[in-house]
């Protein structure tokens, strides 16, 4: 690992913990992503956070994701995360399942393997966190039952 990669890995560690400490499972490799997506049942829901080092991930996406995942009465069956720019291959594989333009950070709700709701970066940055949380709550309430 070169010094830049080592620095970025160390810098991102706290950003990873902002989700993993709240029961989000990290999918670090393409095999991790495939294993999760191929074993999830059709009636199960998955909430995916594509994590990032940017300011809108730190100030909006991660806090909104963990707050709604913890506090909403209706919860997804699975909470997973991939880290854009860190775990590139895993992120690329998850983006294949999402089927939208690459966007970091972003969030997705699946029912089985079917994408039901997607929040790209442009619907995260420059918005109030309460609005993002309401979008997530509405998606959980509709697709995670």
Give CA separation, 3 vs 8, 9, 10, 13, 114, in Å: 9, 10, 11, 16, 39
Q: Virtual CA dihedral for 70, 73, 78, 83, nearest 10 degrees?
A: -40
| Known active-site residue 54 | yes
**CA distance linking residue 33 with residue 27, whole number of Å:** 6
Give CA separation, 83 vs 27, 33, 34, 70, 135, in Å: 8, 12, 16, 20, 22
| Known active-site residue 144 | no
> Choosing from 19, 27, 37, 56, which is the catalytic residue?
56
> Choosing from 15, 54, 109, 144, which is the catalytic residue?
54
Which residues carry out catalysis?
A: 54, 56
């Amino acid at each position: 690992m070169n010094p830049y990669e080592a620095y970025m890995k160390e810098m991102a560690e706290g950003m990873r913990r902002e989700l993993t400490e709240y029961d989000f499972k990290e999918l670090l490799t393409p095999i991790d992503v495939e294993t999760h997506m191929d074993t999830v049942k059709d009636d199960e829901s998955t909430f995916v956070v594509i994590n990032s080092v940017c300011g809108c991930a730190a100030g909006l996406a991660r806090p909104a994701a963990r707050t709604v995942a913890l506090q909403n009465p209706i919860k997804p069956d699975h909470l997973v995360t991939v880290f854009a720019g860190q775990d590139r291959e895993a992120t690329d594989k998850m983006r294949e399942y999402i089927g939208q333009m690459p966007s970091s950070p972003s969030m997705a709700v699946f029912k089985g393997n079917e994408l039901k709701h997607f929040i790209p970066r442009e619907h995260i940055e420059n918005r109030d966190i309460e609005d993002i949380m309401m979008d997530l709550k509405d998606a959980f309430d509709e697709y995670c039952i």
